[in-house]
Structure 1
């Protein structure tokens, strides 16, 4: 008997047998599977999955995880690594990949790369739904990717949240104050301050007003503020679901829902906590749509700083949008992981979206630029790094404290500890962290 209980005498491919279609028995891939671009295997060859080359329409065969460890949609296009370019497949880690205890650990070391691919400017994004240059692949992580983060989860205990010097307390404090940062600066560590300067989406205006009211609430106004919060969350969900939106609108609805979620998750009111729980699947769904417009910097992942400078983005606005998408995608997964960890329901055997490598740019000089001139000057004169899978090795060898923006600071602290990062910043640039 062949693997999966399929008889070795079976002539049709497994997919045709399952769907009760007539199979032409062509190898390595039958006609039905070619048309549907789905895996094609015969009997005992269930470990072989096809890859589809969209450039010439040909099908090749790669060895990947067995069908029992992955679910496929027949509409997916598989790349040379066997992974869906839509990033929607729930692919389990290969046997060679280390399964490590701890949900937060799975969160923290799973990204890698570098590149500023073609993206659309803010003005281009207002009126049409055009795709960004999305990443064609994201590989699974292995042992070295997780080594520095293990203590965060292995030694985690709820009382650590009361110790401001602990890694987990620092990280949670950053996340729980997103709405405060937004209310005070009209920006966060993942939402650039210039992103919504012109033609601000109404969801962002409503979220900003809500954050300002909530941050400045009093005992007398709390009830009214929470009513506004509930109505604006309902308005967001009702008006931002089930319709085709431009990439900028898709990003705006995620940004609005994230600040609402952080309020509800960390307020302490049981009804708000349940509201956050109910809305979490919506946030996950919207965030996955960002994946389709995200440039994950694959084509510059291995470039050094000199080569990166030669890949200057077409416009400052496009870089602002692309980097905000990258950071937002990471933050949404991190928020869910923290929420699961704090509610003691993390599945240490399920890496989820942290199974793949995600990337972001480390450069305070680029992120804090307030105009195009300052941005391009920083691009040509200041250092920058592409951070992959939370791997900061190259930055730690060549970078300084002045190069660290608040997004990188949060994950550096989770990786190495607050005192260690403070020491690094002071010794390399005399920068004092608050």
Structure 2
């Protein structure tokens, strides 16, 4: 507990959280004058008034605080954090606290991350779209995830881990449609696709070779000029996500060491993809799609595949960055509406296997356009069959696994 609010100033022995954390039922770190959660969200942090009494003086601790800079972390991916366990042998109580997950903060309502939107006008150069990585300084509180917090992000992490396999075996990920690259797969994604195939064949004999291969492919990708065509921008983002998933979750320490150096390139992809979506004109969605002639339905389907894959990828890039930082016990926040990418919640549309199946689902099934990540309409009107894997990734992070299990069970579905 911070010295300013220890039990000598609290005769009841209870920790007094700030008003914001009490209201949202979040764990408060009790930092004065503003707790970490309120600081990240730019909230006014107010604590309950303290009763007047003679406090017992607290001896001042002048011992040096441990250096919690990124360079002193033995591995850029601390596996003890992934399991949600405390590792007091590595980090002292002075720089470690338990974090009851508040994914990038702002989960005050179903509209997850609402408070992350920057309501000020967008600068012309668009360069403030993403805040730089925030690494705790010496003496600043770090955190570890509580088991309940890890449960909320474990589903998304599991899908991230499986992305290289599903890309090879099914030509898709929850954020990349299986027919997205049917006509043309850019070379950067061809290389990533081949790397994923090698990843599935990795063993003790070839693991060193594979690690060198991944490192070389990432260097080659990140040193190439940034693309300008929408499909190429999207392919580059998909390749980076696949490489980063391998770096983070392969269990190879050599690859783990390349997690943090890849962050700036993921940030660049977020900005490029956001700018691409902003500059492209979104055609009005038809009320009904004609089944004959099939040309109209085919055009609508192709447009949906590209638009929805782009919007999902932008959101998953943001979520991936947040999760990776949380697992390392660090804060990462976005200052702009990148995280409020519009997505369509409809497993029927996303999983359609043909033009006619897509058009029929569009005409006959209810689908939900989620803006600003407000899933309230989905939770009120959708059924279990409407929620695909991507929707589950986001909703479990918002509500928690138990609530989603209950939501599915209440509607006769199985999560």
What interval of TM-score do these two structures reach, taking the shorter chain for normalisation? Answer: 0.5 to 0.7
- 1:193-234 Cα deviation digits (max 9, x unpaired): 100112221222211111121123111121222222122222
Q: Are 1:295 and 1:326, in contact at CA under 8 Å, matched by a contact in 2? A: no
Q: Does 1:371 align with 2:354?
A: yes
- 1:79-112 Cα deviation digits (max 9, x unpaired): xxxxxxxxxxxxx9787999x9945334881369
Query: How far does residue 382 in structure 1 lie from its aligned partner after superposition?
Result: 0.7
1:176 corresponds to which of 161, 178, 200: 161
With normalisation by structure 1, the TM-score equals 0.59
Unaligned runs of at least 5 residues, structure 2: 1-39, 47-99, 121-142, 290-296
Q: Are 1:326 and 1:359, in contact at CA under 8 Å, matched by a contact in 2? A: yes
With normalisation by structure 2, the TM-score equals 0.61
User: Alpha carbons of 1:311 and 1:251: their partners in 2 closer, same or farther (altered >3 Å)?
Assistant: farther
Partner of residue 346, structure 1: 331
User: Alpha carbons of 1:102 and 1:250: their partners in 2 closer, same or farther (altered >3 Å)?
Assistant: same
Matched residue pairs, number?
289
User: Alpha carbons of 1:160 and 1:422: their partners in 2 closer, same or farther (altered >3 Å)?
Assistant: same
Q: Does 1:251 align with 2:234?
A: yes
- 1:365-401 Cα deviation digits (max 9, x unpaired): 0111122211111110111001133322111221100
Q: Does 1:224 align with 2:209?
A: yes
Q: Are 2:174 and 2:390, in contact at CA under 8 Å, matched by a contact in 1? A: yes
2:252 corresponds to which of 260, 264, 269: 269
CA distance in 2, matches of 1:355, 1:203: 24
Partner of residue 215, structure 1: 200
Q: Does 1:404 align with 2:387?
A: yes
Query: How far does residue 258 in structure 1 lie from its aligned partner after superposition?
Result: 0.7
User: Alpha carbons of 1:222 and 1:204: their partners in 2 closer, same or farther (altered >3 Å)?
Assistant: same
2:257 alignment partner, SS class: helix
CA distance in 2, matches of 1:97, 1:329: 31
- 1:327-380 Cα deviation digits (max 9, x unpaired): 111111111111111111205xx5434686332110000111122211111110
Partner of residue 206, structure 1: 191
2:340 alignment partner, SS class: coil
Q: Are 1:103 and 1:351, in contact at CA under 8 Å, matched by a contact in 2? A: no
User: Alpha carbons of 1:162 and 1:323: their partners in 2 closer, same or farther (altered >3 Å)?
Assistant: closer
What CA RMSD, in Å, does the superposition of the two structures yield over aligned residues? 3.6
Unaligned runs of at least 5 residues, structure 1: 1-91, 113-137, 142-155, 301-306
Q: Does 1:235 align with 2:220?
A: yes
Q: Does 1:413 align with 2:396?
A: yes
Partner of residue 185, structure 1: 170
User: Alpha carbons of 1:370 and 1:274: their partners in 2 closer, same or farther (altered >3 Å)?
Assistant: same
CA distance in 1, matches of 2:118, 2:341: 9
CA distance in 1, matches of 2:364, 2:378: 16
Q: Are 1:309 and 1:380, in contact at CA under 8 Å, matched by a contact in 2? A: no
CA distance in 2, matches of 1:425, 1:296: 38
Query: How far does residue 403 in structure 1 lie from its aligned partner after superposition?
Result: 0.4
1:391 corresponds to which of 368, 374, 380: 374
Q: Are 2:342 and 2:370, in contact at CA under 8 Å, matched by a contact in 1? A: yes
User: Alpha carbons of 1:284 and 1:330: their partners in 2 closer, same or farther (altered >3 Å)?
Assistant: same
CA distance in 2, matches of 1:278, 1:196: 28
